[in-house]
Each structure stands twice: as C-alpha cells, then as structure tokens.
Copies of this chain bind each other. A is one copy, B any other.
Amino acid sequence: MTSDQSTHRSAGTSPAPAVAALDAPEAIAAEVTAGIAEFLESKADEFRAISPDAAEIANALVDFTRGGKRIRPVLLWWGYQLATGEGFDRVTLSPALAQAAGSLELLHAAALIHDDVIDHSDTRRGKPSLHRQFAGLHAEAGYQGDGESFGVAAAIVIGDICLALSEELFETAQTTLGITPAARALRAQLRRDVMIGQFLDVRAEVMPLDDDRIAERAWEVLSYKSAKYSVEQPLLLGAALAGADEELLREISRFGLPLGQAFQLRDDVLGVFGDPAATGKPAGDDIREGKRTVLIAESMNQLTAADVEVLAARLGDSGLTDAEVTETMEMLRSGLEAVESTIEAKYAQSLSVLEEWSDGAARIGPEARRQLTDFAHALSFRQS
C-alpha cells in the first residue's frame, strides 16, 4: 500500500480526518478481479499437473468468479482504510490486501455454488448454475450414469475446492500482512457464520409458516447468512488486518451491522419483487424456493387466516405457475411497507454513525463521508 501519511487510529483521538478522499470502488473491484484470475490460473497449472481432468476445476472457477459486484472486497478495503487512516491520491491496493479481499470472493463463490445446489437453482448471474453446467457437460459428452447427480457431485466438490483455495489465498495474504489474533478470529467467524446462517436458512424453510419463531428465525438468517458476513465482517476484517484496536472494531460494527441488515432486507425485497432482467434471477424466485425472509414474517402479520393458508401452500412449491407467483407477490406486498421502512431506519442508523465520525472524532473527511454514504445508499436501495 503506497501511502503518504500512515498512522494507526483508534476512535475519537484526532480532529484531522483520517480518510480524506476515496476513489471509485470500481478500481478496487478491478484489482481484486485481476488478482483472483491470476491466482486461479496458477492453480490451473498445478491441477493440470495432477491430472488433465482436474484442469476443469480451475476453468470452472475462473469462469464462475468472473462475475459479481465485489461488495465484500470493497468493504474489506474500506475497513482497512478506516483503520490505517492512509491518505492517497488514487486508489491503490497492495497485492497482499488484494489477496485477502480476493479470498473473500472465493469464499463467497464457494457459498454460492453450494447454495445453488441446495436451492435447486438453475441460474446464477444470468448463466447456468455450476451444477447445471456440469449436468450440461455430461449430456453433451454423452457420459455414463445420471447427469443430474454428476452435476450435483461436481458442484459439491468444486465448492469444497473453492473453500480450500479461499483459505490458501488468505494464508498467502497473511504472510505479508502479518497475523493478528483479532484478524484470525474474525476470519474464522466470517467463514463460519455464513455457513451457520445457511443452515438456519435451510432449517427455517421446513418449519410451519405459523411457527411463533418465524420472525426471530428470519432475523437470525438475515444477520448471520448476510448482514454480518456480507457487510459488517468484511469491514471488520479489513480493519483488523490493519491492526485496528477493539474500540475501532466496535465503532465499525455500529456502522456495518445496520447497513448489512438494510443490504439483506433489500435482497429479500428484490428476491420477490426484483426485475429478472436486472437481478439475473427469475421473477419471484424466493417464493418458489420458499425462503422464510423478514418480508414473509412481516406479511404474516397483515394477512387473513385464509391468505396465510394459501401462502403456506405456495411457498417452496417449485411448480407454481407464473400466475400463482404473481398472486403470491401481491400477498407479500402487505409486508413490503414494513420492510421498506426498516430498510430506511437501518440505513439512517448507519449514516448517523458516519455523521459522528465526521464531526467530533473526524475519523473521515467530507469526501470519504460522501463516498461511504453513496456506497451505503447503493447497498440499501439497489435494483439488482
């Protein structure tokens, strides 16, 4: 990391802004993308040396990790900036920090690959999901046995390999960045919490809709599978890699957790009401999957007993007609207002922390505040 002024900061110690100005997150995303591609291509060579067949693994991962918004890498970089308070003229990312950020993308790719198997999803980012790709390959090549099973098997194993590569890339980053106990603990938490959140999601989907823990469960899933993992923990990990103290980590959580909740609540809204052309997922995808989101829990508070019965029968029915999906979407509009106002409130809560940081403590300068505000707004009110 090139730097003019490099100081480790804790909360509220200096009136001079620590982060004065930031360039576009796109630059970070591009550097991370290049780093991942370089890493995976070096692995492709290693894999090919083991067996010509193993080259397919790396090829599939190179392709799979090409897409995505790189939200977690960008947040890791923000966390790092908040902790180092480094000034800079242009956005740069040391190779080691790009590796740490790239490692989060590989972890995320692994989670998505397994998610798609679990949810029987046919598409991801507008392309066939990995298990569908391998089932397709099986059909094209006229291989033996059941193509569906082959696709699922390949996707489970490639997801596992992607997890292993995520570890490897993070370990490489650590050798340069150094390992603090806080960073190690955060990495372990992040890696584990997303999977626990995923288990809770799978678990919630099979519970009766009128179960009295429905709202509580929806918030557990939202927090662990996404709000922490996608927003709060990448910020914290970036800060910890820069040696942030506990006070700063607590401050960052105050900003990151509500923002993460707004981010996932938006995801839940888009999962039902999103435009397929923008999201790359079919209309009402979450309805056919039967996801038990906060939107569902809020709708339950508004619907009549008769409607609840219809809703219960439809959630998780992958064979719903488009008309039934549209009808179910209409039912879920009853919970939309409550969710939208929760998103507003969570977004506002995160902004109020930014405001504190800009005032007395002056953790960030006006330009950085503007950019973080823009980013928070994009996370909370995006269309895809």
Contact = CB atoms under 8 A, between A and B. Distances in A.
A327 to B, nearest CB: 20
Interface in A138-183: 138, 143-145, 149-150, 152-154, 156-161, 163-165, 167-168, 171, 175, 181
B50 A118 contact: no
Given A138-B206, A191-B164, A144 B316 contact: yes
Contacts of A193: 50
Given A143-B206, A145-B206, A208-B144, A57 B199 contact: yes
A164 B47 CA distance: 23
A45 B144 CA distance: 46
Contacts of A181: 175
Q: Which size class do A's interface residues fall under?
A: 35 or more
Given A145-B205, A145-B206, A316-B145, A196 B117 contact: no
Given A47-B196, A156-B117, A217-B53, A188 B161 contact: no
A59 to B, nearest CB: 12
Interface string A332-354: 00000000000000000000000
A372 interface: no
Contacts of A316: 144-145
A170 B318 CA distance: 41
Contact of A220 (B51, B200, B312): B51
Contact of A195 (B53, B161, B220): B161
Interface string A294-319: 00000000000000000010001000
A23 to B, nearest CB: 34
A54 interface: yes
Nearest to A199: B157
Contacts of A127: none
A343 B157 CA distance: 29
A156 B188 contact: no
A202 interface: yes
A207 B157 contact: no
Contacts of A161: 192, 195-196, 199
A60 to B, nearest CB: 10
Given A157-B198, A198-B157, A316-B144, A192 B171 contact: no
A157 B290 contact: no
A66 interface: no
A224 B50 contact: yes
A203 B160 CA distance: 15
A168 to B, nearest CB: 5
Interface string A18-31: 00000000000000
Contacts of A153: 118, 202
Interface string A77-118: 000000000000000000000000000000000110010011
30 contacts: A51-B217, A51-B224, A53-B200, A53-B203, A53-B217, A54-B196, A54-B199, A56-B203, A57-B199, A111-B160, A114-B160, A118-B156, A118-B157, A120-B149, A144-B207, A144-B316, A145-B205, A145-B206, A145-B316, A150-B206, A154-B199, A160-B160, A160-B195, A160-B198, A161-B196, A163-B163, A164-B192, A167-B167, A167-B191, A171-B184
Interface of A: 47, 50-51, 53-54, 56-57, 110-111, 114, 117-118, 120, 138, 143-145, 149-150, 152-154, 156-161, 163-165, 167-168, 171, 175, 181, 184, 188, 191-193, 195-196, 198-200, 202-209, 217, 220, 224, 290, 312, 316
